[in-house]
Structure 1
Amino acid sequence: MAVVTAVGAEAGVELSDLKPPLYEVVDPDALDTLFQDTTGTVSFEYHGSVVSVDHTNAVTLASTDDGDTHPTDSTSADDDPRAQRP
């Protein structure tokens, strides 16, 4: 999933080292399907970042420490076999 990949890259850690797993913070499947029939943005905190995902699947990170935003490349969960799922 794009969120896990972006947060792991920003934090400089392996995806398996992200704690808690993403599925304990937000439902990855629901996040993937949220904007199928609408537009908008959803934001949540994960691993020290405010993560925003918009209807185009673009992921933006803002550090909870410094407020900097960092746009990232977007992929879907289907594109990333390392995505953490229950």
Structure 2
Amino acid sequence: MSPSSPTSSANAWSHAVIEAVAKEMNIHPTELPEKLYDVIDPGSLDSLFANKNPTGGTVTFTYCDYTVTVTANGDVSLEK
């Protein structure tokens, strides 16, 4: 899946992850079989890259059987 970038809202990163996974699974976000907070703290994820730090950094975790990578430059990507 191609990377996507979050919007400017305070919880943009967590919402970007949820939206990307739901889109990839072709379902509505409320139909996801797993809650994001069961695998990662959404607030911490949102805070980590809130300023889109250009110096780098990534967070990778498994969510709904996808390997999700969030980068400091604003990308959310998925691998199955």
Please indicate, yes or no, whether the TM-score normalized by the shorter chain is above 0.5. yes
Q: CA separation in 2, counterparts of 1:56 and 1:13?
A: 27
Q: Distance in 2 between matches of 1:7 and 1:29?
A: 18
Alignment match, 1:11: 25
> Identity of aligned pairs, percent?
40
Q: Which residue does 2:45 correspond to in 1?
A: 31
User: How far apart, CA to CA, are the structure 1 residues paired with 2:40 and 2:72?
Assistant: 16
Find the partner of 2:75 among 58, 63, 66: 58
The 4+ residue runs of structure 1 with deviation greater than 4 A are: none
Q: Which runs of 5+ in 1 are unaligned?
A: 64-86
What is the rounded CA distance, in whole Å, between the counterparts of 2:61 and 2:78 in structure 1? 10
Q: What is the Cα deviation at residue 28 of structure 1? A: 1.0
Structure 2 regions of 5+ residues with no counterpart?
Answer: 1-14
CA RMSD of aligned residues (A): 1.4
- Considering fraction of residues, name the structure with more helix: 2
TM-score with structure 2 setting the length: 0.71
